[in-house]
Amino acid sequence: MSAERASAGPRFDLPESDAFTRPYWDAAAEGRLLIRRCAGCGRAHHYPREFCPYCWSEDVGWETASGEATLYTWSVVHRNDLPPFGSRVPYVAAVVDLAEGPRMMTEIVECAHEALRVGMGLTVTFREAGEAGGGEAVAVFRPAG
């Protein structure tokens, strides 16, 4: 998995973190993607929740994902009037299947729109985020290799 940062672009705010989500955002700032795995049924899930969405167990913990994924679907967004997205159009909103199993909403970067293909291999990278530039980052994906 790469701790490289995606090319600098406009900054944007992250969701407000709390005691539960702080490990996720801290890991992202270090270039690591975290997912949650259930000790009860063994399944991984994303977005992070305090319980397993499959068996409802509360015996779930953090693990570092490999950062590998495949493209499930995408849409090229040409218009978005909500700040800060309007300054970033066109961009690729996507859903990817992580190697560990969970499906994740994200953005595809460093790839020509015409080159996107269902099933293409992707790898995680991180984009700096936050208004203050305090080291926060968000996971995005780019073509593998």
pTM of the model: 0.86
Give kind and range of the element (H or E) at residue 37.
strand 34-38
DSSP class of residue 83? Answer: T
pLDDT band at 14 (very low <50, low <70, confident <90, very high): low
Is the sign of the CA dihedral 118, 120, 123, 126 positive or negative?
negative
Closest by CA to 123, choosing from 41, 67, 82, is 67
Give residue-wise pLDDT tens across range 17-58: 889 999 999 999 999 999 999 999 999 999 999 999 999 999
Whether the predicted pLDDT of 92 surpasses 80 = yes
pLDDT band at 98 (very low <50, low <70, confident <90, very high): very high
Percent helix / strand / coil, the chain, rounded to 5: 10, 35, 55
